[in-house]
Amino acid sequence: MKSNVTLRLAQVATLTFAATVLLVGCQPIDPAASVSPGTHSAANARLKADVDYVDGELLLQFDEEATDDVKNKALDKVKGIPAEKILTKAMEKAGKKEGLMVVKVNKNVLEAIADLSNTAGVAFAEPNFIYTHTAVATDPFFTNGSLWGMYGPATSPANQYGSNAAAAWAAGKTGSAAVYVGIIDEGIQLTHPDLSGQVWVNSSDPVDKVDNDKNGYIDDTNGWDFANNDRTIYDGGTRGTLDDHGTHVSGTIGAKANTTGVVGINWNVTLISAKFLGSRGGTTANAIKAVDYLTTLKNKGINIVASNNSWGGGGYSQALYDAISRANTAGIMFIAAAGNSGTNNDATASYPSNYDLPNVIAVAAIDNTGALASFSQYGATTVDLGAPGVAINSTTAYNTYSSYSGTSMATPHVTGAVALYASTHPGATVAQIRNAILSSAVPTPSLSGKTVTGGRLDANAALAR
């Protein structure tokens, strides 16, 4: 006979819950509000339902040894109804058997979390945070001076505050299709003239309604849409989202050189879509699935070197921290936007960029004069370096090009540099990649005392580390 917990789970259809994520600029909403049980109570009180977290819903992690009776007592304590159990392949590989529950509650979420804080069998309970994005279109690329983020002090055109990727190209270093990068974001217009052929095609899982590669996702040809729980990574407005932001960051990382439009830091690279931002954004629950999806692919032998994370919001999530830690163990860098609120991340934490893990690099935005962008968040101990993030032209949906500003735009410059480094240093570890990117940062007055390195990205100099 099934346990009560099993019966409850069987009675509730698996749901995908939406929430908003910080795309272009990562403007986290009160990111100091960490909500591990029993901590940050004052910060928690400032959180707002359906603004900072999904109302009537929480994430619940039971101890591995918790019995069904203990679980039921905990659920009964908050009148909780399991809505979804998240047990990814990456969790299983890490030795997790219990998984993470999305639980519906008919009471104030923060009160329910407080009730669970000292409950037997509960490892942690936290909100299903909402992540938001704010994109600012200014707009129409390399030859006409518009793509300053790719320039360097001695390139033509030149801009000393660009990423200096063009200097690497001049030396014949333009990336490799054998290097894979995960785009945790909106979807990608894989048919865009500058992105066609740059997006992963999963030969191990042909479209036949069978999970041939046994990664838990049926026919994930180019990645997976966790926002809508299907294989279509580009919706192009049909579900209320243009997939502009995911397409934009993809172009900065890997738009191909084809005499059309823009070009990315890597002329050759393979992009995998882990879409979790939909028409209403994305939740912690779906972000975890997206991170673990890439980790599982890496564990299966796909050379994923980094994920780009131009989003943020909410507070500290132990569950998301654990997922990023699993990615670190697998050897995947996690490049994250510092945020767009103009605040100090040392004083008010911004997630996910503030997670203190070896694979996390937090990125601030600078403009074409080398100034820290007025909107960019910073932190002498929590934000690693700056990169071009103002008036950045790149690919957008419907075969278009747009100019956006934000730390979301700075982040893919660093992710692109990581991929370029991996193409010239096969097998490089997280530690080696991190050292190469950070140790080659160019000292920049506006970033002195504002970032860990006090400098800005130099994609070409990193290659010599």
Number of C-alpha atoms within 13 angstroms, CB side, residue 139? 14
Q: Where are the domains of the chain?
A: 4-21+29-131, 136-462
Closest by CA to 144, choosing from 407, 410, 459, 401, is: 401
Which residues of the chain register pLDDT less than 50? 1-44, 134-140
Burial status of residue 135 (CB atoms within 10 A of its CB: 0-12, 13-18, 19 or more):
buried
Q: What is the pLDDT of residue 5?
A: 36
CATH 3.40.710.10 fits 4-21+29-131, yes or no: no
pLDDT at position 47, please?
Answer: 77
The active-site residue, picked from 133, 192, 245, 413, is: 245
Look up 353 and say whether it is catalytic: no
Q: What is the predicted pLDDT for the residue at 46? A: 67
Across 158-284, the runs of DSSP E, i.e. the strands, are 175-185, 223-225, 268-275, 282-283
Q: Which helix (H) or strand (E) holds 228?
A: none
By residue count, the chain amounts to 465
Report how far residue 10's alpha carbon sits from residue 216's, in angstroms, rounded to the nearest whole number.
19
Distance CA 153, CA 55 (A): 50
Q: pLDDT at position 130, please?
A: 83
Q: Give pLDDT, residue 408.
A: 96
> Is residue 413 annotated as part of the catalytic site, yes or no?
no
Of 30, 52, 185, 213, catalytic: 185
Question: How is residue 290 written in tokens?
Answer: 């997206």
pLDDT of residue 45: 52
Answer yes or no: are the C-beta atoms of 153 and 164 closer than 8 Å.
yes
The pTM score is 0.88
Where does 136-462 sit in CATH, by number?
3.40.50.200
Catalytic residue, chosen from 146, 250, 307, 408, is 408
248 is catalytic: no
Residue 133's pLDDT is: 61
Q: How far apart are CA 164 and CA 149, in angstroms?
A: 8
Distances (CA, A) of 348 to 53, 314, 352, 378, 448: 18, 12, 13, 10, 19
Burial letters for 288-301: b for 16+ Cβ neighbours within 10 Å, e otherwise?
bbbbbbbbbbbbee
